[in-house]
Amino acid sequence: MRRRILCPLCFTSSDLKIGRIDPYLCSARLFRAFYFALMGVFFLAQSACAQDSSKRANRAIATQTPAIEQALANTEVQLGSPVFIRIVKTVDGSLEDGFLELFMQNQDGVFQLYKSWPICTYSGDLGPKLKEGDGQSPEGFYFVNPGRMNPNSSYHLSFNLGFPNAYDQAHGRTGSFLMVHGDCVSIGCYAMTDPVIEEIYTLMTKAFENGQPFVRVHVFPFPMTEANMANYKDNINIAFWKNLKTGWDWFEETGRPPNVNISGKNYAFSAAD
């Protein structure tokens, strides 16, 4: 017979009356209470650090700004212009040649490529992230507002992609704290070298300071060409990737990233404001 114990987080009044207090149930409830309390503290800390800058971020921005301004001196854009980010996991299927592109909006409203950097590392394989702990890096359409920037990241500097988005949630996908960050290590995130994340962080920060409300971040398994789609036609994710391809083609054809919503558990695209 199990020994009954009193646990203030675990029993109801009826349990107390009949002495039916289960230590195993109590332990589980205590663990859940502790877990959610810890997560609450973590979220508050993340929120607090995301709202403020840091010496590290300020130093990075001060270091990166002159070189960026020089690179943009004879272009149609300037530091503070709106930015758009596109991430591609692989070009040739090797999973070692992924890249991150950053585009900047010119006076005609077209986003032109500023620079492309190799992804230092990411985890998982081609295909979306499905559940917490699967080690997959996400694919899909995300956005980053100023509150998702983390100048006090454990991985130099970072920004949160906002996974799971509405599409992910509609498909029951779970996960948290999926980032683009520095330090060149990853468990489900996209990791860059520290100098690269500093440059990206600076461009995003200056765009926010100049009034851009959020930065779109679109993540694809590979360049969504017809040839690549044919190569992966038997992959289990092909229906999902066909949906992603619509967003890829929109930007390729217009030079403007689309506004992305959800319709019938699929991504739906329209002209951005």
Mean pLDDT by 10 residues, the chain (273 residues): 33 36 42 44 44 84 97 96 98 89 97 97 94 95 97 96 97 96 90 97 98 98 97 97 98 98 96 88
pLDDT at 52: 58
pLDDT at 47: 42
pLDDT at 95: 80
pLDDT at 3: 32
Residue 4 is given by DSSP the state P
pLDDT at 4: 31
pTM given for the model: 0.81
Whether 189 is a known active-site residue: answer yes
Could you say which of 26, 181, 184, 218 is catalytic?
181
Q: What CA–CA distance (Å, rounded) separates 271 from 264?
A: 19
pLDDT at 112: 97
3-state secondary structure 201-232: HHHHHHHHHCCCCCEEEEEECCCCCHHHHHHC
| Number of Cβ atoms within 10 Å of the Cβ of 89 | 22
Whether 184 is a known active-site residue: answer no
Alpha carbon 233 to chain centroid, angstroms: 27
Could you say which of 10, 26, 120, 189 is catalytic?
189
Residue 46 is given by DSSP the state H
